[in-house]
Chain A
Amino acid sequence: MQRALVDGSRAHRTPILPVIGKDLTVERGGRHILKAIDIEVGGTGTLVLIGPNGAGKSLLVRVLAGLVRPSRGEVTWAGRPPDRQRAPKVGFVFQRPVLLRRSALANVEYALAVAGFARSERADRASAALTRARLSHLAQTPARVLSGGEQQLLSIVRALATEPEILILDEPTSNLDPAATAAIEHLVNAVRAEGTRVVLITHDLGQARRLGDEVAFLHRGRLMELSPRDAFLAQPASAEARAFLRGEIVL
């Protein structure tokens, strides 16, 4: 049967969801940093990942994004192991933005080029993506002279430009002022409303409440629970999560 190529993007031909991790274990120097985590991220909405410093949140999302190979267990994207061809459909925003030594616009165009978008489309798509995040006035500015908040926004724009099925954000608003935080939260909610699956790490319980549909709690490399937001915030299942919500140290 012929495949229709109506849409120039490869969005509909490279399914990612569900992202499933089975028995994910990461061992470094004899220490188990992730411990037999089973997690399934499918469907829609925003999953908020919380937990104390060093719990393994960043590592878990890097494993799920195919950036780190687990010592044991496996990750699948729509049933197959992660591969480079589908990577543009997994938007990943690092806690500290890594931007190329080019203009803001060129950074976005680069991601589009890697994702296989035709040269003729790239400039328009990149501009539209910048405009959406109100960054169009900075399109020609070298990315690395942008402010911290602008860099954070730009790296989200870059991750979104390729129309990912899932957007993973590692503490996207730590170090940002309230206005920049609001801008990013607004963008994340808009993306979620369009059907993109979102995974977001945060230490801000207010943000978890505002953005989360579900909350996952990680503690010492173990996934303690994954519950609907309201249920979690009202009454977490584990003693560790209850202590964490009360602001007690549970390291």
Chain B
Amino acid sequence: MHDFTTAFLEALRLIAVADASLMEIVWLSLKVSISATLLAAIVGLPIGALVAMGSFRGRSVVVLLINSLMGLPPVVVGLIVYLMLSNSGPMGGFGLLYSPAAMIVAQTVLVAPIIAALGRQTIEDLKNEYDEQLRALGVGPVRAIPTLLWDGRFSLMTACLAGFGRATAEVGAVIVVGGNIDHVTRVMTTAIALETSKGDLALALGLGFILLTMAIVVNALVMGLRATATRAAYA
């Protein structure tokens, strides 16, 4: 009990004084997860849009695949990216393993299917609603895509936030490809996982608070977006 109280107070102190090593970890986490979410959006949204707009053979199989990839276990993603980036792997030449870049790649692979799948659903629903009206106005398929993306903007932003939430919370992928190296690849989740087992409860708890706060902020943003969209009937 005494241990816990000490750790708890120390954790609060670390946050209050913005402890350098704590901030370094938080900052790296944010950099990795934000970069990964942006990349995943760049890859995932066009894929979602193409599948939503397209009518090709095997389309429902593609939809099923993308939807299934949403639930990819992070450690499996970590393992696959590890194999790709390891010295004997196809992209081993870049020497990315155990670097922040490797973690960004892994989280991008993890998050892109989420954004693609949720984006696909949003765009497809909107397309079904708009299709005849847009054609009546003389809108062709090329022009329809930006229209659908813009009109689905609130749902698409929500999809990106969901992806970001997943990226910040996962530990399996980043620990396999990053390795939790101090000052290099140590992010919040890997630090919590490993510092706890080493007995540095204060740091782990402090990071836990911050992670929880971030989850709350992300969800507050989602709720705010929903409310804005509903108020204007843009949802």
Residue ranges of A at the interface with B (Cβ–Cβ < 8 Å): 62, 65-67, 84-88, 90, 92, 94, 98, 100-102, 110-111, 114-115, 142-145, 158
Contact = CB atoms under 8 A, between A and B. Distances in A.
Contact of B136 (A87, A110, A142): A87
Contacts of A158: 137
A115 B135 contact: no
B137 A67 contact: no
A142 B143 CA distance: 22
Interface residues of B, number: 16
A92 B137 CA distance: 8
B233 A88 contact: no
Given A98-B129, A144-B232, 7 more contacts: A62-B132, A66-B135, A67-B136, A87-B137, A98-B130, A101-B234, A145-B233
Contacts, number: 54
B30 to A, nearest CB: 31
A144 B232 CA distance: 7
Contacts of B132: 62, 67, 94, 98
A124 B234 CA distance: 25
Contacts of A84: 135, 138-140
Contacts of B232: 101, 142, 144-145
B138 A87 contact: yes
Interface string B6-41: 000000000000000000000000000000000000
B21 to A, nearest CB: 46
Contacts of A87: 135-138
